[in-house]
Structure 1
Amino acid sequence: MSQRSQSSSRSVGGTIATALSTFITLFVIAGAIGLAAIALPFITSIGGSGSPTPPPASVEPGRPTLSEPGEPITAASTITVSGTLPQDLLEQSDAIIRIIITREDGSEITGAEITMPKTAGFDVAKIPLAAGSNVIEAVVVINGVEGTRSAPITVVRDTSAPSLTITAPAPGEIMNGDSVTVTGKTDKDIDVQVRNETTGTIESGRSTVKGAFSIGITLRDGTNVLTITATDGAGNQTSKSVELSTSASVGRISIILNPGTIILSTRKDFLITATATDSTGAPAANVQVCMYVTATGAPPSAPVCVTSDVNGRAAWTYAFPNNFNTEGRGLVTVTYELTVGDPISGTQNFRIYLVKP
């Protein structure tokens, strides 16, 4: 091969090698840029908690934006407002944020002023509310000059309690069943709660567009106190209570004293045995039974509580003080705390003598 041909071959080979090297370099750079684009959001999300949140695209330059209130109607006297600043206002380090309130009567007051925050988001607490409508705006003040006010938000302060009328049941009514439906009228479309204070049972409902409500709740044997509470959207409440009873039997109790007559010269103690059944006639088993004694010339004893056995029986031995020596009458009182229904109580009289008559 001639020298010129060899030179041409080397030139072509060098050109191809250079082109290939350039292509590989560009391919590597393009791949690196693509990987960076994929990784950047992930890296940003990891460190995002420590850096200011950028203003949303909807934030207008030179104008704060207030967030809509979570509770546009409230009974509270103050609220916290939140907002966002655009980037151009964040750069005004010597400025303040002023919260302006226009009340229902048309008067305008300054609700609060805070120094310029270091991040786009801001909160201003304890903004005072007047009764009725409160139109709230935010504005940045630079060197005493107000800029462009934010779009307004409106918060209504409502302190009027809802009306409440109970149509059934009537106070003092005696019911035959184990439940009752409470009906009445209040403000439209608000929450209504019925609580049986005697049992702790709670049932809830909501009034209709005409304010009517109807809520069922269970009863126990004996006396039941129902509390009905209406709560409006602002949190204002009105409550009324109704006491009623069921007509079911409340059980029976018997008390035996041994001895039935106390002779102080012989002994100063006696055994009290009580037996009870519940409203169904079944033994009042495994319930708390409390007893105490009163007698002429002696202070009432402290109540002593025991648990009844499977037959509804409970016993306690009472002894008078050693220095007790007064003739007269006494009384034993026993109370069973039933599992269902009102407690039942019974009494038993006895006589006290110094010596056998």
Structure 2
Amino acid sequence: MIERYREIIDRIDREILNLLNERAKVVIEVGKEKLKNNKPFIDIPREEAHIRDLLEVNKGPLLNENIISIFREIISSCRLLEGTLKVAFLGPEGTFTHLAALKRFGRDSVYVPARSIPEVFSLVEKGEVLLGVVPIENSTEGVVNYTLDMFMTSPLNIIGEIIIPISHNLIARDDVIEIKKIYSHPQAFGQCKEYLEKNFPGVDLVEANSTAKAVEMASKDNESAAIGSEIAAEKFGLKVIASRIEDDPNNRTRFLIIGRNNENRFSGKDKTMVMFSTAHKPGALFNALRCFAENNVNLTMIQSRPSREVLWEFVFFVEFQGHKEEENVKRALESLKEVVWSYRIIGSYPEDESL
């Protein structure tokens, strides 16, 4: 009976293979049309809407997360027939930003590690890569201010978001005897605070630029450990001493996809982020936020950052549900123009619903 089932699987796989190649041929023709009309070969809103449509008709037994993973790789492989997608990320390899980029763009894209968030922006601005991926917010530690600050000086736009679960591991060399210090990124230390206080109260915590860099540092020191991902442990040949040491089992991090294009079309479920400055007087921020409430626009994030131009003046970042071309959002933004000093739409982009 097993052999009979295997024959059925083999036949289905051959059918899948033929259909994949038919899909690839169509993608090549689409690529020619995009080239003829000078359009970018990646269309994030289209990809997100397509995935969303597939999930709506998925009857199982494959879970939605399985469908997302499978079709991300199919899209990635077919996209390669149109052109090579180069994506910069906060490196080195093995960081959670790297994992987020892989999740979204698949293994057939080219990934360029950057040493810092500003370098990710720089690589995209110079055209050395098409897109960049940077962290913006963690469910435990809050917003990554470095990323918000970059939008005050960079012309780049947000064209997508990626949300992934964050699971931290304590990682060390095989020959470690006593752990005298632990390396990691400040955000990771914050997300594992209770674990560290309980298990390593007297150990020095040494900050690194990334969790992957921390694992690399621990690989050179047999009296240390690092907090990082399993993929980083594998990369540097270390072992996982303890798994899932994060304080919050629902720990999530959100990343932004940044690019030079600000023409994202409506995908069906979008977000928009704007930045603005107001007069330094009572009620100025209230008047700005009222523009959203009066037009039934739901805010998902509001942050303030020092303007860097005038002492004690701030730039406000507001993210909300809806696309800039939707009528209620248009009305809200028109009203906002009337009550603020300056403002910029940083981007409208598909909402990540994968978790």
Q: Compute the TM-score of the two structures, normalised by the length of structure 2.
A: 0.19
Q: Could you say which structure has the larger radius of gyration?
A: 1
RCO greater where, 1 or 2, for CA within 8 Å and sep 6 or more?
Answer: 2
Q: Larger % of helix: which?
A: 2
Greater share of strand residues, 1 or 2? Answer: 1
What TM-score, normalized to structure 1? 0.19
